[in-house]
Amino acid sequence: MKAIQIREIGGPEVLQLVDLPIPAPGAGQVLLRVESIGMNFIELYFRKGQYKATLPMTPGSEAAGTVEECGPGVNGFRPGDSVAAVGVLGSYAEYALVPAAQLVKVPDGVTPEQAAAAMLQGMTAHYLAYSTWPLKAGETCLIHAGAGGVGLLLTQMAAKIGARVITTVSTEEKAELSREAGASDVILYSQQDFVAEVKRLTNNKGVDVVYDSVGKTTFEGSLNCLRPRGLLALFGGSSGPVPAIDPIQLSSKGSLFITRPTLWHYILTRDELERRASDVLNWVKSGDLKLRMEHIYPLTEAGHAQCEMENRRTTGKILLEP
Ligand code: NDP
C-alpha cells in the first residue's frame, strides 16, 4: 500500500511516499480502507519534534473509509461498514489499523470526505462549547483563529446556542468566512489590538470565555479579555507554546480560570465518543453544521498541504485522498 512515512524530524520534505505491506488487524483492531484523511495540526507537531514519536512513523490522526477486515474479538463492526475515527495514528496511507473502540459508524448520507472533515475538529468544537464551558444564550465568547478548522465549527455551535461570538482572524477574506459562520464581531488581530477591541465591544466588561488555539502570541491578551471569574480554554498552540505563568496573575486579573483541554479526555468513554460523534455527523447530515473543505490534496502532496497549514494559508478543513 502507498503510505507517507517520516524517517527523521524536519520540514515538510521529510514526508516521503513509500510502499508498505498492508497490515493485518490484531485482537480488537479493524483494518480500515482509508477513503479520506483529515489533516490536523498535531501531525505538524510530531513532524517537527514538538511531540515525541518513534521513527519511522506514518503520520495521521483522523480518517474515514470502509471496514476491510476485523481482527479477533471485534464486535459491532463488519466488512463493508462506512466508518470514521480519530486518534488513528498512521492514517496518511491507503490502509490503517484502528482499535474498534475508537471507531464510529458514519450515518447514511454523510460522505467519507465529510466524515473525515468533521470528526476531530467537530468533536473538539463540541466539547469546548458544551462541556469545557457549557455556553449559554446571552453569554459572550472570544474565538481566536475564527476562520480555521475548529474556529468555523465552534463559531457555528456557539452562535446556535445563542451566545454572542467575537472572533479574531488575520485577513479580510478570513473575516468574511468567520462572519458567515455566525460571528457578530470579527477583529483583524494582525492589524488591531484585539484586547482593546474586545473591551470596546463589551463596554469594558470582558467576555465570559476565550477559546484560544493560537497560544504564544495571544495567551497574555486572552487573559486580559476575560471578565472576573471567566475561563481561558487554551486548546492549542498554532503560534507556539505559551510561557510559564505565576498563578497569582489569575487572581490579580479577576480570579480567572485556565484549562488546557484535549479531545482525548472528552471522549474517554464509548458513550461519550458516540454521543459527540453522532451529534456532529448528524448535524452535518441535516445541514445544521456547514463544513468548509477548502482543499483535497492527493497523498503525494502531504508535504505541500502541511506547508500551507503552517503558513496560515488555509481556512476550514484540509483533506488528503489516498
Ligand atoms: P486552523 O485551521 O485553526 O489553523 C491554525 C490557524 O491559527 C491559522 O490558520 C491562523 O489563522 C492561526 N495562527 C495564528 N498564528 C499562527 C502561526 N504563527 N502559525 C500558524 N497559524 C497561526 O487549525 P485547526 O483548526 O486544525 O487547529 C487549531 C488549533 O487547535 C491547533 O493548534 C491544534 O493543535 C489545536 N487543536 C487542539 C485540539 C484539542 O483537543 N486540544 C483538537 C484539535 C485542534 P489566522 O491566519 O486567522 O491567524
148-164 pLDDT, tens digit per residue, is: 999 999 999 999 999 99
Nearest CA to ligand 1 atom 16: 239
Overall domain count for the chain: 2
**Under a CB-based contact definition with an 8 Å cutoff, are residues 38 and 102 in contact?**
no
Mean pLDDT in residue range 58-84: 97
Q: Which of 234, 260, 286 is the last residue of a domain?
A: 260
Q: What is the residue range of 157's domain?
A: 136-260
The verdict on 15 and 76 lying in the same domain is yes
Distance 144 CA to ligand 1 centre (A): 9
Pocket-testing residue among 39, 40, 41, ligand 1, by greatest number of atoms within 8 A of Cβ:
41
Give the model's pLDDT for residue 89.
Answer: 79
Residues 59-90 as b/e (b if ≥16 CB within 10 A, e otherwise) read: bbbbbbbbbbbbbeebeebeeebbbbbbbbbb
Whether pLDDT at 180 is above 80: yes
The verdict on 146 and 256 lying in the same domain is yes
Task: Note whether residue 130 is domain-resident.
Answer: no
Q: Which of 207, 236, 260 is the last residue of a domain?
A: 260
How many CB atoms are located within 10 Å of the residue 161 CB?
A: 17
**Contact 177 CB / ligand 1 (< 6 Å):** no
pLDDT band at 5 (very low <50, low <70, confident <90, very high): very high
Calpha distance 246→290 (Å, rounded): 40
Q: What is the CATH number of the domain that holds 195?
A: 3.40.50.720
> What is the pTM (predicted TM-score) of this model?
0.97
Whether pLDDT at 88 is above 90: no
3-state helix, strand, coil in the chain (%, to 5): 35, 25, 40
Q: What is the CATH number of the domain that holds 101?
A: 3.90.180.10
Give the model's pLDDT for residue 232.
Answer: 98
**Contact 314 CB / ligand 1 (< 6 Å):** yes
Task: Note whether residue 247 is domain-resident.
Answer: yes
Task: Note whether residue 22 is domain-resident.
Answer: yes
Whether pLDDT at 189 is above 90: yes
Q: Nearest Cα to 234, choosing from 218, 245, 253, 250? A: 218
Please report, rounded to a whole number, the percentage of residues in the chain having pLDDT higher than 90.
98
Q: E strands within the chain?
A: 2-6, 15-19, 29-38, 62-70, 82-86, 95-99, 103-105, 140-143, 164-169, 185-188, 207-212, 226-234, 257-259, 293-298, 317-321
Task: Note whether residue 131 is domain-resident.
Answer: no
Nearest CA to ligand 1 atom 4: 148
Task: Note whether residue 10 is domain-resident.
Answer: yes
How many CB atoms are located within 10 Å of the residue 205 CB?
A: 14
124-149 pLDDT, tens digit per residue, is: 999 999 999 999 999 999 999 999 99
Q: Which of 260, 287, 303 is the last residue of a domain?
A: 260
**Contact 121 CB / ligand 1 (< 6 Å):** yes
Whether pLDDT at 202 is above 90: yes
The verdict on 146 and 254 lying in the same domain is yes
Mean pLDDT in residue range 92-121: 97
272-287 pLDDT, tens digit per residue, is: 999 999 999 999 999 9
Mean pLDDT in residue range 26-50: 96
Task: Note whether residue 202 is domain-resident.
Answer: yes
Mean pLDDT in residue range 12-36: 97
235-262 pLDDT, tens digit per residue, is: 999 999 999 999 999 999 999 999 999 9
Give the model's pLDDT for residue 54.
Answer: 93
Mean pLDDT of the chain: 97
Mean pLDDT in residue range 2-22: 97
The verdict on 234 and 293 lying in the same domain is no
Give the model's pLDDT for residue 35.
Answer: 98
**Under a CB-based contact definition with an 8 Å cutoff, are residues 306 and 47 in contact?**
yes
The verdict on 223 and 285 lying in the same domain is no
pLDDT band at 294 (very low <50, low <70, confident <90, very high): confident
Task: Note whether residue 60 is domain-resident.
Answer: yes
Distance 315 CA to ligand 1 centre (A): 10
* β-strand partners of 296: 319
Whether pLDDT at 221 is above 90: yes
Give the model's pLDDT for residue 275.
Answer: 98
Q: Is the peptide bond before 56 cis (omega within 30 degrees of 0)?
A: yes
Q: Nearest Cα to 213, choosing from 161, 276, 261? A: 261
Q: Which three cell numbers stand for residue 110?
A: 454523510
